[in-house]
Structure 1
Amino acid sequence: MGFSRELADEALLKNKGDVQAAANYCFEATSG
């Protein structure tokens, strides 16, 4: 599971620091 730093930062901001939600966001964003 490799996500860019930019995507991870954006995900954490969108999800107010919720790591689990951010991980889900990254997964959705990269899975097509």
Structure 2
Amino acid sequence: MGRLQVEGQRFLSQLGLYLPQIGHALQKIDKVA
């Protein structure tokens, strides 16, 4: 159970790193379209 929590926290931290980049990419696409 503890290992699953560690995996989940690692996933969430990586998701937090990638989300801003995805948001910027979507904004650029919206401006082009």
Is the TM-score greater than 0.5?
no
Q: Judging by fraction of residues, say which structure has more helix.
A: 2
Q: Comparing both chains, which one has the higher relative contact order based on Cα–Cα distances under 8 Å and sequence gaps of 6 or more?
A: 1
Bin of the TM-score, shorter chain as denominator length: 0.3 to 0.5
Superposition TM-score, scaled by structure 1 size: 0.44
